[in-house]
Amino acid sequence: MKILKLTFVSLFTVILVACKKEADVKNAKNDTLMVKKDSAVIPETHKEYYGIYTGEFAGKARMHDSETDEYYEGTDYKKISLKINRITKDSVYGQSIVNGNQRPFRGIFNEASKTFVLDEPGNDKTDGRFEVKLKNDSLTGKWTAFNTKAVNAPSKMLKLTKKEFVYNPNFMLDENSDLIDWENPKDFTEKYTDEESGKTETYTSSKNRIASEAVFRINASKQKLTEKDLKNLRKLDLEIIKNSVFARHGYSFKKATYRNFFEQTEWYIPVSANVDNDLSPMEKENVVLLNRFIKYAEDKYDSFGR
């Protein structure tokens, strides 16, 4: 009698499990039908406008002169990318990428005037509204911060061109690139001796880091680097060679030092705030080696006017 009771309980459990699985399958089918139904209700439009628009992002701002330690009214220039991912009758979805900050946006497209109004979420102090007009493959217009007191340049103009991002391991800095790091000047105490009087005076000189031409020949995306390749390089050389790997994958740099180098090229398009998973195994190994050398390398400084 006890064995019969156990058998009945086991059979009942099996039936319950089978019913649950059947219900799960039905629910999954219903979810799939709902997605298909929703997709049919809200079709995508103007797919020809999808893509990356990149270019100048500039506005009046309070600027700091690191040499004199003074502030002045100037123009803050940056490079920005707007990625339009989806357009429906009622909404536009995409992302803005600037200064290593990647923000989603949602807005509307006016087909008659060919204009977009795109709002970032608003929960970050750098969020704002883009109002841009489409003409051929260009977007022009303005961006206005939601919190005008929280940012240095609360209103900026945009001039963007549609470009297709393509990873190319052959991309390098242009050989006519400015190899000076203008963002991190360092003060040095120096001495001057007057030949006639023999009097020696000390003074402070502000100098900037400079890179060597090694950045034009060493490619960490194409060659497996060795200690011999790196042992005599300056710290800035190593930083540029390393960050060239990330620039080729479309990384949006937070540090102005690196933005200034790569924005001198035609090929650099910031498309993401994180490209770690896009690096090849060799690139990852080279980055580890470069980081090891960067830790102990020294810089070369010189004086430059600007």
What's the pTM value of the predicted model, to 2 decimals?
0.77
Backbone angles phi and psi of 91, in degrees to 5: -145, 155
Q: What are the strands of the beta sheet with 200-210, ordered from one edge?
A: 180-193, 200-210, 300-302
Q: Report d(CA 215, CA 264) in Å as an integer.
A: 14
Q: Report d(CA 249, CA 268) in Å as an integer.
A: 9
Query: pLDDT tens digits for 230-289?
Result: 999 999 999 999 999 999 999 999 999 999 999 999 999 999 999 999 999 999 999 999
Q: Report d(CA 196, CA 186) in Å as an integer.
A: 31
Spell out the domains of the chain, with CATH numbers in brackets: 47-163 (2.40.128.20), 180-302 (1.20.58.1690)
Report how many helices (DSSP H) and strands (DSSP E) the chain contains, helices first: 5, 11
In this prediction, residue 191 carries a pLDDT of 82
The beta strands (E) that lie in the chain are given as 51-65, 70-87, 92-98, 101-110, 115-119, 128-135, 138-145, 155-163, 180-193, 200-210, 300-302
306 residues of the chain, pLDDT tens digit each? 444 444 444 444 444 444 444 544 444 444 444 344 444 568 999 999 999 999 999 999 877 676 666 777 888 888 999 999 999 999 999 999 998 899 999 999 999 999 999 999 999 999 999 999 999 999 999 999 999 998 889 999 999 999 999 999 999 999 999 999 999 899 998 888 877 787 888 888 889 999 999 999 999 999 999 999 999 999 999 999 999 999 999 999 999 999 999 999 999 999 999 999 999 999 999 999 999 999 999 999 998 765
In this prediction, residue 22 carries a pLDDT of 53
Q: Report d(CA 110, CA 131) in Å as an integer.
A: 11
